[in-house]
Amino acid sequence: MFNFEYKNGNIYIYGIEEFDLPHTLDCGQAFRWKEKNGIWQGVAFGKFLELEKLEDGTVVLYNTTTEYFENIWRDYFDLDRDYKKIVEILSVNETLKKACEYSYGIRILNQEPFETLCSFIISQNNNIKRIKGIIERLCENFGEEKNGYYTFPTAEKMAALTLDDLAPLRSGFRAKYLLDAAKKVASGEVDLNNLKNMPLDDARAELMKIVGVGPKVADCCLLFSHKQVKAFPKDVWIKRAMETLFGGDLPKEAEDFAGIAQQYIFFYARDTRLLGE
């Protein structure tokens, strides 16, 4: 599907299809990526990364190693999944075909589970700018500083905090949900390690043990950090898009890749102002 080589301290990925960096990194599934002059910068699994897509389609991961590529970035960017084949399957439906073409190159990121859980707790009734600000303050206050960037704090670190400790985040009602999540994960009451292997309904129920985690937040976590590609996060916005485009029900062709289809539908409907402002 693709080839890569390590050269001059960088990883060069050749022949990768269906991988657009802005569409993937700025579509609302992750909140710690920033773009400057075509180069994207972010932190995941405790590692800082810069990457860029060149005009010839080569994706360059700067200042990393073959070890980090194989152990972190290959899976994080879902590089071994054949998105071209998935798009072909979805495109049997004409409306989905339009969504796939418009949303070209979105890949599902396989993110760190606790960070994803906290991020989508924070995302509730919130906008992207504020979500990013809260997460940034969370990392700066309680993460580990490494050469100018901050890791995401562990569940154990956060479980020892109080609501007063979280006041600098300015996260409002979400602070108590973050603490409940941290305590239940740190104690093992909620097991994040096996969710990818559980039936979807069981995995969703496991996450919903956390106060403030409903079906939508749970499905975001399952899709974006546990490889549950049948998870289909539904908020008011995506429900409206589904009603407008498909009469409410996801086309049969999309059932096995519902979560990936959801990303194409969401991006297409939002970016084309299909549902208005």
Active-site residue numbers?
216
**Buried residues in 257-270 as b, exposed as e (16+ CB within 10 A):** bbbbbbbbbbbbbb
CA distance linking residue 67 with residue 52, whole number of Å: 19
Helix axis angle for 113-122 and 128-142, nearest 10°, is: 130
* Three-state secondary structure readout of the chain: CCEEEEECCEEEEECCCCCCHHHHHCCCCCCCEEEECCEEEEEECCEEEEEEECCCCCEEEECCCHHHHHHHHHHHCCCCCCHHHHHHHHCCCHHHHHHHHHCCCCCCCCCCHHHHHHHHHHCCCCCHHHHHHHHHHHHHHHCCEECCEECCCCHHHHHCCCCCCCHHHCCCCHHHHHHHHHHHHHHCCCCCCCHHHCCHHHHHHHHCCCCCCCHHHHHHHHHHHCCCCCCCCCCHHHHHHHHHHHCCCCCHHHHHHHHHHHHHHHHHHHHCCCCCC
